[in-house]
Structure 1
Amino acid sequence: MADSAAGSLPYHEPGIVAILVQASFLLLLNMVNSALDRIVYCGLLGQVLLGICWGTPGAKWLSASAEEVVVQLGYLGLMLLVFQGGLSTSFASLKANLLLSSGVAITGITVPIALSFSLQWLVGATSLQAFAAGAALCSTSLGTTFTVLASSGLTSSRLGIVLTTAAMIDDVVGLVMVQVISNLGSTISAITIIRPILVSLGFAVVAPLACQFLILPLTVSLNRYRETHSSGKIDRIVCLRHTAFVIHTLVLIALATGATYAGTSNLFAAYIAGAVISWWDTEVPHPKNAQTRLVEEKTQPDATQKNNLLTEESTDAAGAGDNGPQNRSTTFGSTIYQEYYKQAVSKILRPFFFASIGFSIPISHMFRSSIIWRGIVYTLLMTLGKLVCGLWLVRFSVVPVQGTLRGRMLNVELPEVPHLWGKSAKTGSSHAFKRDQPQTVSTHEEPSTPKITQTVPRTPSTPKPFSLYPPLILALAMVARGEIGFLISAMAESNGAFSSGHTNSSSESDIFLVVTWAIVLCTIIGPLGVGLSVKRVKKLEERKSKGQEGSGRDVLGVWGVR
Structure 2
Amino acid sequence: MTRVVPLLALVSGSALAASSSGTANLLFSLFWVVLAASVFGMIASKLGVPAVVGQVLAGILIGPSLLNLARPDEFLLSLAELGAVFLLFMVGLETRFRDLLAVGKEALLVAVLGIVIPLALGFGFGLFQGQGNVSALFVGTALVATSVGITAKVLQEMGVLDARFAQVILGAAVIDDILGLTLLAVVSGLGAGESMGAAQVALILGLSVGFVALVLAVGIPLIHRFQPRLQNLSLARMFNVAIVVGLGVAALSTVAGLAPIIGAFLAGMVLAEVKDEVEFESKVHALEAFLAPIFFVVVGLQLDLSVLGTPTVIVAGLILTVLAVIGKVVGGLLGARSMGGQQALLVGVGMVPRGEVGLIVASLGLGAGIINGNVYAEVLLMVLLTTVLAPLALRVLARRAGPEAIAAKA
Superposed pair shares fold, TM > 0.5? yes
Shift of 1:99: 0.6
Aligned residue identity for 1:496: G
Q: Which residue of 2 aligns with 1:379?
A: 321
On the 8 A contact 2:107/2:335 being kept in 1, the answer is: no
Shift of 1:491: 1.0
Percentage of pairs with the same residue: 23
Does 2:59 align with 1:51?
A: yes
Q: Which residue of 2 aligns with 1:338?
A: 282
Shift of 1:246: 2.2
In 2, the alpha carbon distance for the partners of 1:59 and 1:74 equals 20
- 1:141-540 equivalences in 2 (<5 Å): 141-183=147-189, 184-190=191-197, 193-211=201-219, 215=222, 220=225, 238-279=232-273, 281=274, 329-331=277-279, 336-339=280-283, 341-347=284-290, 349-388=291-330, 389-394=332-337, 468-499=341-372, 508=373, 510-537=374-401, 540=402
Distance 1:186 1:337, change over 3 A: farther
Q: Which residue of 2 aligns with 1:448?
A: none
Q: Which residue of 1 aligns with 2:43?
A: 35
Higher helix share: 2
Distance 1:144 1:53, change over 3 A: same
Shift of 1:182: 4.1
Distance 1:276 1:124, change over 3 A: same
Structure with larger Rg: 1
Aligned residue identity for 1:264: L
On the 8 A contact 1:41/1:151 being kept in 2, the answer is: no
On the 8 A contact 2:146/2:352 being kept in 1, the answer is: yes
Distance 1:173 1:9, change over 3 A: farther
On the 8 A contact 1:103/1:392 being kept in 2, the answer is: yes
On the 8 A contact 1:181/1:488 being kept in 2, the answer is: no
Shift of 1:33: 1.0
On the 8 A contact 1:175/1:484 being kept in 2, the answer is: no
Shift of 1:329: 2.8
Q: Which residue of 1 aligns with 2:133?
A: 127
Q: Which residue of 2 aligns with 1:560?
A: 408
Q: Secondary structure at the match of 2:277?
A: helix
Shift of 1:370: 0.9
Q: Secondary structure at the match of 1:479?
A: coil
Shift of 1:195: 4.2
In 2, the alpha carbon distance for the partners of 1:19 and 1:207 equals 37
On the 8 A contact 1:238/1:244 being kept in 2, the answer is: no
On the 8 A contact 1:251/1:273 being kept in 2, the answer is: yes
What CA RMSD, in Å, does the superposition of the two structures yield over aligned residues? 3.1
Aligned residue identity for 1:104: V
In 2, the alpha carbon distance for the partners of 1:381 and 1:522 equals 11
Distance 1:536 1:36, change over 3 A: farther
For residues 396-428 of structure 1, what are the alpha-carbon distances to aligned partners after superposition, in whole Å with 9 as ceiling and x for unaligned?
Answer: 9xxxxxxxxxxxxxxxxxxxxxxxxxxxxxxxx
On the 8 A contact 1:90/1:161 being kept in 2, the answer is: no
On the 8 A contact 2:113/2:335 being kept in 1, the answer is: no
Structure 1 spans left out of the alignment, 5+ residues: 227-234, 283-327, 397-465, 500-507, 542-553
Q: Secondary structure at the match of 1:254?
A: helix
On the 8 A contact 2:242/2:271 being kept in 1, the answer is: yes
Distance 1:44 1:498, change over 3 A: same
Shift of 1:130: 1.6
For residues 384-403 of structure 1, what are the alpha-carbon distances to aligned partners after superposition, in whole Å with 9 as ceiling and x for unaligned?
Answer: 1111112444469xxxxxxx
On the 8 A contact 2:155/2:166 being kept in 1, the answer is: yes
Aligned residue identity for 2:323: L
On the 8 A contact 2:216/2:266 being kept in 1, the answer is: no
How many residues end up aligned between the 2 structures?
Answer: 395
On the 8 A contact 2:208/2:256 being kept in 1, the answer is: no
On the 8 A contact 1:181/1:491 being kept in 2, the answer is: no
In 2, the alpha carbon distance for the partners of 1:479 and 1:362 equals 21
For residues 169-211 of structure 1, what are the alpha-carbon distances to aligned partners after superposition, in whole Å with 9 as ceiling and x for unaligned?
Answer: 1122223334334432242444764443222111022223324
